[in-house]
Structure 1
């Protein structure tokens, strides 16, 4: 991601409803795991999710993170994390098998996503699982994707196909952020018509309705335990070897 975007990202990643609600969904999914599970967060940024998992009782020595950004890993280390490394997500070199691998908004940054998924497959233990979240639909492409240095956005079928090509067996797949799809779509189409330069994409700061938006997405998170959504701003797959 570009420097101005990354600076803003680190300023808001802890409290912004988007990131907070996705971390909440991931934490709920991991709640039934043994607390000594080995977990890798690919694209861990400042390690906010890993520290929340620490609060949930997971052991620090089994929590790992990688990020391509030196600033992100410096922040993660300052936040008390130990096993965090500056590393290319296409070719992660860790001699550990993980019970859970998490990649939130990472795959779209990688030029060769199939190679990355094959690498991630080798990081998952025999009975382990992987959770991959990516932005959805090229129709939502906007300056936000450009300053974030995305290569692509995905449909659910594209993400499933690429993960299956890498060898994964899909256990849960859906779109995410369903209720906000229409306002986000309209806002991005209007922004695409504007000639205004924007160096931080959609990350203008913490929105005034942040608490309400968190409640909306968190309600969707609970529904995802029973249903899958037909479209959304993001899409994800949970899979096993």
Structure 2
């Protein structure tokens, strides 16, 4: 989770439709896979690790982020979270890259560096922002380097010595609205004023968008057409 967006949403972040829906989507995708011990790369506030501990049986999460200025451990619900600036010598069942690779200049080299350390048979979950034509000042604000198609993401995964199990788009239910919003932003916003499009909504709007995206999780893994996020589950074969 991006620290900049934590500053925008504050205590409302757990109930915001976007993060609430994405956490549910991640949890559903990972349901069939072993995940007692996970790496959460670029974890920020550890939002996704905490969600998976409470809802998906994760027992231990190693949260890795260069933003951490100290190392410490936290007992959370029935699990344990370790906050580290660098990756520890631990063999995880699963490694998460939730909205991380789009920030990295050499995304392939970065991903490979974690694949090389991972045990054979371990899984990787990756999500990235989708479609270059959706690029806006929102991406500039968050420090993105690129947006991806499913083909881009699959090539990246395969070039990093991972075998894709499934890849798909998510947030297709709000995609038309997002396209209109980004187009308006690109037309009318000042080009030298990066800003986030993430915002707090009324209870009704937040509940409605959350409902749409929650329903979408039932069919998302068959969606190879459009969405705001591209997602992939893969494993290390050798």
* Structure 1 residue 134: Cα displacement: 0.2
Match runs of 1:1-241 below 5 Å: 5-33=5-33, 37-56=36-55, 58=57, 60=59, 62-70=60-68, 82-87=81-86, 93-196=87-190, 200-208=195-203, 209-225=205-221, 227-241=222-236
Cα shift at 1:38: 1.1
CA contact (8 A) 1:109 1:150 kept: yes
CA shift for structure 1 position 48: 2.0
CA distance in 2, matches of 1:96, 1:2: 25
Task: Provide structure 2 residue ranges, at least 5 long, that are not aligned to the other structure.
Answer: none
Give the secondary structure class of the aligned counterpart of 2:127: strand
CA contact (8 A) 1:100 1:129 kept: yes
TM-score by length of 2: 0.85
Gaps of 5+ in 1: 88-92
Change (3 A) 1:86 1:77: farther
State the 1:126 CA deviation.
1.3
TM-score scaled to structure 1, two decimals?
A: 0.84
CA contact (8 A) 1:124 1:130 kept: no
How big is the alpha-carbon RMSD for the aligned residues of Structure 1 and Structure 2? 2.8
**Alpha-carbon spacing, 1:155–1:201, altered in 2? closer, same or farther (3 Å):** same
Contact in 2 for aligned 1:46/1:75 (Cα 8 Å): no
Deviation at 1:183, TM superposition (A): 1.1
Distance 1:85 1:48, change over 3 A: same
Q: Distance in 2 between matches of 1:20 and 1:125?
A: 30
CA contact (8 A) 1:176 1:229 kept: no
- TM-superposed CA distance for 1:69, in Å, is 2.2
